[in-house]
Structure formats: structure tokens, C-alpha cells
A and B are shown apart, each in its own frame.
Chain A
């Protein structure tokens, strides 16, 4: 699974720290999600989507091997 969080952050001019604080996780978690090392829970994915006012599918995209 890939995601567009880094792009969304750039659009909203938000640092990893700011995003982390807004959804209540650590900065390491945001970094791990962005670098595809960690797949967030449904709750966290929904929180991120709501923050960027997008649908979850627009931010998290399934890949061939998923």
C-alpha cells in the first residue's frame, strides 16, 4: 500500500510534527507511514483523511501485491 500523505502535507504546508500533533501520534509514526514502513490502523487512516478533507482511498492506495 502506498500513500500520498507527503504530497498532502506539502499542499497544506504542514510539517510531520504538525500533522503528528493534529492526529495525536508521534512524529516517528508519520515518518514510518510516509516511508511505507508502517500501515496505519483504520482509525488513524480515517483521521488523516478527515484532516486533509479527502476520502481515505485518495490518500491510501492499494498496490498490485497487496
Chain B
């Protein structure tokens, strides 16, 4: 009954270590307008969504694409790595956490839909790309910790 969609346990640490620089890069891009100049390309094929024509000389900087991809891949590695002892009970905790995370994610999205408007809503959509994974990782590890704690601190 092994879950074939999971990576070996060591990928969790790799994901955590990779998350730090990519998250820092993401924050730098998002809040400080940072961009590596060598990642700027003159692109002829960027479709202008406003008037439907392609803009022939547009400059595209790929720093934000790299930061977002790195954050998503790091979070996926953390979320989908096997625990040291991944048995059927741990698998159930994993599934319950995933269900919980999807539900909470959409509750938050629904609330945000009614309280955040216009350009600020784009921010909501942006953070929403990461919240399912984040909520899942947090929920799963809280459950793991709670079960470990109650096992270590029981009477008998």
C-alpha cells in the first residue's frame, strides 16, 4: 500500500533549503522591484492582451518567473516527500490535511472575492497560487506534531 506519488524523505530537506533563496528572491521581486538584468530578454512574441496585437519590441524580465517556479517546486518537494516512517496512519493524516487545506483555501478565496476588489484582487489570486500547498504543509505538520506529542507524553 505504498503511495507512489511520494518522493523519498530527503527531498523534504532539499525543498526546505531551496525555498529560502527562492522565497527571498520572490519577496525582492514583489516588494522591491528587483530583477536580474541578465534575465531580461527582448521578446517579439508577447501578446498584448489589451488590444490583441503582438508587441514587437517588448522587454521581458524572467526573474519573477524563476522566483515563482522555484517557490512552487520547493513547496511541492516539501509537501510530497515521504515521512521517515510513512505508514497507513500517516497517509490518512496526509489525506485529511489535504482535504482540509483545499476546503480552507476556497473558504478564504470566497471571503476575499467579496471583500477585495479591483487591482488588489490580483494580489489575492497571486497568493492563492501558493495557499493550498502552504495550508496543507502547515496542517499536516501540526497533526504529525500533535500525534507525536500525545505519543511521547502519555501515561502508561
Residues from 31 to 50 in A contacting B, C-beta threshold 8 Å = 31-33, 35, 38, 40-41, 43-44
Give the bracket for the number of chain B residues in contact with chain A.
10 to 19
- Is the CB–CB distance between B156 and A38 below 8 Å? no
Residue of B with least CB distance to A26: B85
Chain A, interface SS category? helix
Instruction: Check if B150 is an interface residue, CB within 8 A of chain A.
Output: yes
Tally of contacts, chain A with chain B, CB under 8 A: 39
- By a CB distance below 8 angstroms, the chain B residues around A40 are 88-89
- Is the CB–CB distance between A25 and B1 below 8 Å? no
Where the two chains meet, the residues of A that have a C-beta atom closer than 8 Å to any C-beta of B are: 6, 16, 24-29, 31-33, 35, 38, 40-41, 43-44
Where the two chains meet, the residues of B that have a C-beta atom closer than 8 Å to any C-beta of A are: 1, 85, 87-90, 92, 144, 147-148, 150-151, 154, 156
